[in-house]
């Protein structure tokens, strides 16, 4: 007797457990658990980059839980269970005896599935379109289908309505084509876009979101299918469709549902899909929407181009302003140099005229103090202006580099403009460095940054820069480089300034119809840079003074160019800083050769 009571109790417990979590019991207990079986279907339900579960169906079920708490005071727990495939969810819900098991993965409502499943009411119209690879022709008559799909393959997901439509199309039209299957979490449109011989069915919202992103495929208007709609699936014995259908019909939550759909589909696309279901000319209505999206993309592209043009104009204006500041600095620098030279000459004249040694010493001390103050004022002014100019120059260089790297669709002409802007800013920066060389020479500060320098590229940059100046004076600039390409370890900027000063002097002091040669030779452990001209050469007296600072020699520029007397002293100092040697081989009236020797 005791065993019979125990067995009866176990049966009663099993009966209560098997019937747990039905809607009817939830109304009594005010607690329920819904097992939501899902598989990735973007934008319906999926994981974002942070691993969080999101999607319009996810938020729809969250809103349903809120509805149950607010309207029926039922505390419901949503138990999300990721399945292995879309097809497996259909199989699981078909065979389950649990009333609280639901399938959540963009399930289309079909009459065939209704024979073994139960659906909630539709929460979104179900319209399916056939798309093919970009560039495939659009079928105008059904008789052309065989010709279109010859040697083409269809892409679909096992167990979906997409697969059903393809099989029905193949049977109804008596055509033969291969069907290739992909995983449920893969995108049919991605596979079609990667080939020129693919086609397949896809939901209209997903297709419209695809072309709104600027992507392109061919839609076949003949094969647009109007379904019953999207709904959640339940076992035939479940009664949870009752509260869910009431939730969809509740006026207080319709706005919430519309907001969820608009969040993932876009307000414009959601309204379009919601209004298109009952249209008689559905294909024409969709075609009109496609054209609207394409025109919007064109307008956005034009606006982006206009913004880029405005940015370019602002950048060019900034460069122009920077050039004005640079010219002002140059004027002040050369004016100060002239004033300093004049003061030095006046000092020498005063020294020679003074007979009283005591008075002369006092005057010299006073004059020197004045010179020091003037020189400090000059250096401070130049440094301040150069420092302030470097900031906008760095900004220009940074902006031009960012634009060149980020703008993928930039035209060759605009890229050339950006390169020219960057090069102009670099040259302006080098000119500032050259102006500040006087301070560098005074301070004796030495900072060498050694790196691998491609000599061919450096020589090409120099010859390109000075070829125009030489041509304007009818001077031929020739370059002789070793083969193969030569690379040495040295400071790129200092070597550039050394050769730039030597080439600049050669062009400046050479007469028309002569030749300047830049030759690079490499021995076992040395690299020699030779700059040879056919200019006036150097006298024996000039040779003794050639590398002194502010030294004006007997030769004069042939094109009325200016000369500060600093260039060769800079060459001497920088060559020494690099651990090399520089010397002159010249005879008066027979040209000159400057040789710079560096360790290889």
Rounded distance between C-alpha atoms, residue 99 and residue 451, angstroms: 74
The model carries a pTM of 0.45
Element (H, E) at 363: helix 357-406
75-82 vs 153-157, strand pairing mode: unpaired
Judged by DSSP in three states, 551 sits in coil
Residues whose CB falls within 8 Å of the CB of residue 463, separated by 6 or more in sequence, listed in order:
477, 479, 518
Phi/psi-derived region of residue 236, left when phi > 0, alpha when psi is between -120 and 50, beta in every other case: alpha
Q: What is the mean pLDDT of residues 508-537?
A: 91
310: pLDDT strictly greater than 50: yes
Element (H, E) at 238: none
3: pLDDT strictly greater than 50: no
Weakest mean pLDDT among 286-300, 436-450, 522-536: 436-450
In words, the CATH class of domain 27-122+230-277 is alpha beta
Rounded distance between C-alpha atoms, residue 73 and residue 65, angstroms: 10
What pLDDT is stored for residue 16 in this prediction? Answer: 40
What pLDDT is stored for residue 18 in this prediction? Answer: 38
Rounded distance between C-alpha atoms, residue 248 and residue 229, angstroms: 13
What pLDDT is stored for residue 529 in this prediction? Answer: 95
Going by pLDDT thresholds of 50, 70 and 90, the confidence category of residue 66 is very high
Backbone CA torsion sign across 232, 237, 243, 249: positive
State CA 85 to chain mean position distance. Answer: 36
pLDDT (tens digit, 9 = 90+) per residue, 390-424?
557 765 776 777 777 777 677 777 777 777 687 76
Mean pLDDT for the chain? 80
What pLDDT is stored for residue 240 in this prediction? Answer: 96
Retrieve residue 530's tokens.
Answer: 């030779």
Retrieve residue 457's tokens.
Answer: 């590229």
Q: Hey, do 27-122+230-277 and 451-599 end up sharing a CATH topology, with the first three levels equal?
A: no
What pLDDT is stored for residue 376 in this prediction? Answer: 63
Please tell us whether the domain made up of 127-226 is placed in CATH 3.90.950.10.
no
What pLDDT is stored for residue 35 in this prediction? Answer: 95
The more confidently predicted of residues 554 and 294 is 554
Retrieve residue 445's tokens.
Answer: 């500060």
15: pLDDT strictly greater than 60: no
pLDDT (tens digit, 9 = 90+) per residue, 67-118?
999 999 999 999 999 998 888 999 999 999 899 999 998 888 888 888 999 9
Q: What is the mean pLDDT of residues 166-195?
A: 82
What pLDDT is stored for residue 213 in this prediction? Answer: 78
CATH number at 451-599: 3.30.565.10
Parse the chain into domains and list their residue ranges: 27-122+230-277, 127-226, 303-435, 451-599
Longest Cα–Cα distance of the chain, Å, equals 146
Rounded distance between C-alpha atoms, residue 38 and residue 57, angstroms: 10
């Amino acid at each position: 007797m005791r065993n019979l009571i125990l067995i009866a109790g176990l049966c009663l417990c099993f009966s209560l457990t098997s019937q747990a979590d039905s809607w009817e019991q939830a109304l009594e207990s005010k607690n329920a658990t819904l097992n939501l079986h899902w598989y990735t279907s973007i934008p319906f339900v999926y994981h974002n980059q942070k691993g969080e579960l999101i999607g319009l169906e996810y938020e729809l079920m969250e809103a349903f839980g809120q509805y149950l708490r607010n309207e029926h005071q039922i505390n419901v727990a949503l138990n999300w269970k990721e399945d292995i495939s879309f097809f497996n969810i259909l199989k699981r819900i078909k065979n389950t005896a649990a009333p609280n098991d639901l399938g959540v993965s963009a399930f289309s409502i079909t009459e065939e599935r209704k024979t073994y499943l139960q659906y909630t009411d539709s929460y979104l119209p179900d319209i399916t379109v056939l798309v093919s690879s970009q560039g495939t022709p659009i079928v105008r008559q059904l008789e052309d289908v065989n010709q279109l799909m010859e040697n083409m393959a269809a892409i679909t997901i096992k167990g979906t309505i997409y697969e059903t439509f393809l099989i029905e199309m193949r049977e109804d039209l008596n055509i033969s084509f291969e069907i290739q299957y992909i995983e449920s979490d893969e995108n049919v449109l991605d596979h079609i876009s990667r080939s020129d011989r693919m086609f397949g069915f896809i939901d209209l919202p997903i297709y419209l979101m695809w072309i709104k992103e600027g992507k392109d495929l061919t839609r076949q208007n003949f094969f647009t299918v109007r379904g019953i709609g999207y709904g959640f699936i339940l076992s035939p014995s479940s009664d949870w469709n009752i509260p869910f259908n009431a939730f969809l019909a509740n006026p207080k939550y319709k706005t919430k549902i519309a907001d969820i759909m608009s969040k993932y589909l876009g307000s414009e696309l959601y309204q379009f899909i919601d209004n298109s279901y009952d249209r008689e000319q559905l294909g024409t209505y969709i075609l009109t929407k496609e054209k609207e999206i394409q025109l919007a993309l064109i307008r956005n592209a034009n606006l982006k181009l206009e913004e880029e043009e405005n940015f370019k104009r602002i950048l060019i204006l900034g460069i122009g302003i920077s050039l004005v500041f640079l010219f002002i600095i140059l004027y002040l620098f050369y004016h100060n140099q002239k004033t300093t030279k004049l003061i030095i000459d006046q000092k020498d004249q005063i020294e020679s005229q003074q007979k009283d040694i005591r008075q002369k010493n006092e005057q010299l001390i006073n004059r020197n103090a004045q010179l020091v103050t003037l020189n400090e004022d000059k250096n401070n002014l130049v440094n301040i202006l150069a420092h302030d100019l470097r900031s906008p120059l760095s900004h220009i260089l940074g902006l031009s580099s960012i634009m060149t790297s980020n703008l993928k669709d930039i035209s060759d002409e605009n890229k050339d403009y950006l390169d020219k802007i960057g090069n102009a800013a670099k040259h302006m920066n080098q000119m500032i460095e050259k102006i500040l060389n006087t301070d560098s020479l005074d301070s004796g500060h030495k900072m060498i940054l050694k790196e691998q320098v491609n000599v061919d590229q450096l020589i090409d940059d120099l010859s390109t820069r000075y070829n125009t100046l030489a041509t304007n004076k009818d001077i031929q600039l020739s370059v002789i480089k070793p083969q193969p390409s030569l690379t040495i370890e040295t400071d790129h900027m200092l070597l550039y300034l050394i050769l730039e000063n030597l080439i600049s002097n050669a062009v400046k002091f050479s007469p028309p119809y002569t030749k300047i040669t830049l030759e690079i030779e490499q021995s076992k452990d040395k690299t020699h840079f030779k700059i040879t001209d056919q200019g006036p050469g150097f006298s024996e007296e000039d040779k003794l003074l050639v590398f002194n600072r502010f030294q004006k020699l007997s030769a004069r520029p042939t094109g009325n160019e200016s000369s500060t007397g600093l260039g060769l002293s800079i060459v001497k100092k920088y060559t020494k800083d690099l651990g090399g040697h520089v010397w002159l081989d010249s005879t008066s009236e027979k040209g000159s050769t400057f040789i710079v020797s560096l360790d290889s």
